[in-house]
Amino acid sequence: MCGIVGYVGGERCVEVLMEGLRNLEYRGYDSAGLALAGPDGLRTAREVGPLNNLAGTVGQRDGDFFSMRSGVGHTRWATHGRPTEANAHPHTGGGAPVGPEVAVVHNGIIENHAELRDELRARGFEFRSETDTEVIAHLLGEGVAAGSSLKEALVETLQRLQGSFAVAAVSAAEPETVVAARHQSPLVVGLGEGENFLASAVQALLGYTRRFLFVENGEVAVLTGTSVELSTLDGRPVERDPFEVDWSAEAIELGGYEDFMLKEIHEQPAALQATLAGRLDADGSVDLSELGFDLSGIERIDVVACGTAYHAGLLGKSALERLARIPVEVAVASEYRYGDPVGDEKTLVVAISQSGETTDTLAAVEAARGFGARVLAVTNTQGSLITREADAVLLTKAGPEVGVAATKTFLTQVAALYLLSFGVAEARGARPVEEIKEIGRALRRSPEKVEEAIELLGEPGLMSAAVGVFAGARCALFLGRGQSFPVALEGALKLKEISYLPAEGYPAGEMKHGPIALVDEQCPVVAILGEGTLREKTLSNVEETVARGARVIAVANEDDVAAGRIAQSVLPVPNVPQILSPLVSTVPLQFLAYHVAKARGLDVDKPRNLAKSVTVE
Ligand code: M6R
């Protein structure tokens, strides 16, 4: 995880670095820091805790600090070493008596850092931190002190490293230059006029540019204010066309909302609309020609993903199996990658990742390549690593998601998988065309129905009554059957990640085989009732928990009278066709997690220990 930024060119260096870090804080917020390069040396500032702490320190620096024209910045999610100032990046190397100082920021893990540390210690280097990154700073400083250019020293250093990294560095010896490289961790170059930028992700820089260059694995970038040079580690120049992103800078501002999570919940109708646009016609027919795949040749599908994306995958499986009659397995990517998966070239592997950067999901893709599968990435991030690893990409068009808890990207992932299920169903002739189109027409109504769900939940007192059920709670049990089971898993994940309450998502029918032992007055049950026969069955299971003292919150259709008889609190959702049920039922669970966390005084956008992009395994 961790976010890195770099800038070279003008006097707005500190402003750009701080703004870039602000937009990357979702990647980690254990500490943050800056290093600026000038002809008379480096200036650094580092602080433990959220970026505001660094902003306070930077605000007290003198004019000299703000006149520097190049620098790098970092926001940290701790892997090696606790969140202390000593472990905060940038890390420096060189300096008197051996030569000019360099400063390095790093995202990733250097696997051979212990051996390198021993070797450097034996040569007299002293270590000031517990991080794996400090070895890079010393190797780089040593190279520069020995007379190498910053780029040459970086290349020499990279040849010593094993593991994953995106690194950026500045040196007092070349204050007009920023160098960077990557292997497995993400890095983009932002292109400006008289200035150039670097970042872990495009959203860091949207206030300054929308033109970017990918830096690929094993490439080095050298930036000055007027030039960007890419080359391979063995020195071959790389020519690459820039790409333009269509995200706006406003999309990553709060726009009057108290938190990004709340904003992003409210953006769900628009996000769904954008994801369906151009892919689902008014008559319900689907157009996935953008994939360039012949979907008819596929005989089975493996879905790989982590966290919320895995829950979307479970809903995708249910639609694909029901509509396209194709066998689907859904696997947590970290298990799949080491699980010796079985498949062949008729297997389609669908890798779902909001960020497109999740290490385990990327590794699962690589494992699938091992048996010749075709890979389809479902991602929200244009130009992310997964888009370059996959054979085809189905972009969810949710716009940037800043809150660590995934909301709008979950709904759009589900919608994208539904589109895929229509496409596969059609290609296989699994169902009458008109039947699929009818379901397609229902899906077209998802933005409107999710909007209705948001409005229904806005009724005064509803959410506070639900939050009241959580007073004194020590855990929670989320129950659902069929399509409502993945929704229950997602509701439980949302609650635990932002409110820190232990929460289990369970198939309602399985509850008596263990989890019912949790039930008492301090363990609320959140039941996603759904409709049809499964609703009846779920209701019976909920009755069983009520008999054991459970306090119940029911997510139920707005006209479901029985729900009000067993639940202390009913969160209503509009009546919808079956395919839309998971989409509308997720909304109350997002609000519930949000309000419970707020009532506990927690930061919903930056929950402890988490980061939005998980780039370590
Ligand atoms: O970027 P990805 O979709 O690959 O991320 C996967 C998970 O890390 C992510 O969904 C995580 O579980 C969220 N914080 C859940 O809200």
Residues 111-126: tens digit of each pLDDT: 999 999 999 999 999 9
Is the confidence at residue 298, as pLDDT, over 80? yes
Q: Which residues contact 421 (CB under 8 A, 6 or more apart)?
A: 316, 319, 320, 322, 323, 324
What distance in Å separates the CA atoms of residue 563 and residue 425, rounded to the nearest whole number?
A: 35
Question: If you average pLDDT over residues 307-334, what whole number do you get?
Answer: 97
User: CA torsion angle for 565, 449, 405, 384 (degrees, to 10)?
Assistant: 160
Q: How do the domains of the chain map onto residue ranges?
A: 3-250, 255-444, 458-604
Nearest CA to ligand 1 atom 11: 307
CA of 308 to the centre of ligand 1 (A): 5
The pLDDT score that the predictor gives to residue 512 is: 87
Query: What is the mean pLDDT of the segment spanning 448-458?
Result: 96
pLDDT for residue 51: 93
Cα separation, 26 vs 357, in Å, equals 14
Rounded CA-CA distance 400/271 in Å is 10
Predicted confidence band at 13 (pLDDT cuts at 50, 70, 90)? very high
pLDDT at residue number 100: 62
CATH architecture of residue range(s) 458-604? 3-Layer(aba) Sandwich (3.40)
What are the tokens at 222? Answer: 């050298």
Q: With bands split at pLDDT 50, 70 and 90, how would you rate the model's confidence at 515?
A: confident
pLDDT for 27 = 86
pLDDT at 98: 57
Architecture in CATH of 3-250: 4-Layer Sandwich (3.60)
Residue positions annotated with a catalytic role: 2, 612
Task: Determine which residue's CA is closest to atom 16 belonging to ligand 1.
Answer: 405
- Test site for ligand 1: of 259, 337, 353, 354, most ligand atoms within 8 A of the Cβ: 354
Q: Is-same-fold flag (3-250; 458-604)?
A: no
User: How much distance in Å is there from the Cα of 483 to the middle of ligand 1?
Assistant: 20
Cα angle 175, 178, 182 (rounded to 5 degrees) comes to: 155
Average pLDDT over residues 269-298: 94
pLDDT above 60 (res 547) = yes
Cβ < 6 Å from ligand 1: which residues? 306-309, 353-355, 358, 361, 404-406, 493, 497, 613-614
Phi, psi of 327, rounded to the nearest 5 degrees: -70, 135
Any idea which fold 255-444 has? Rossmann fold (3.40.50)
pLDDT in tens, 374-405: 999 999 998 888 998 999 999 999 999 999 99
Farthest-apart Cα atoms in the chain, separation: 79
Per-residue pLDDT for 414 more than 70? yes
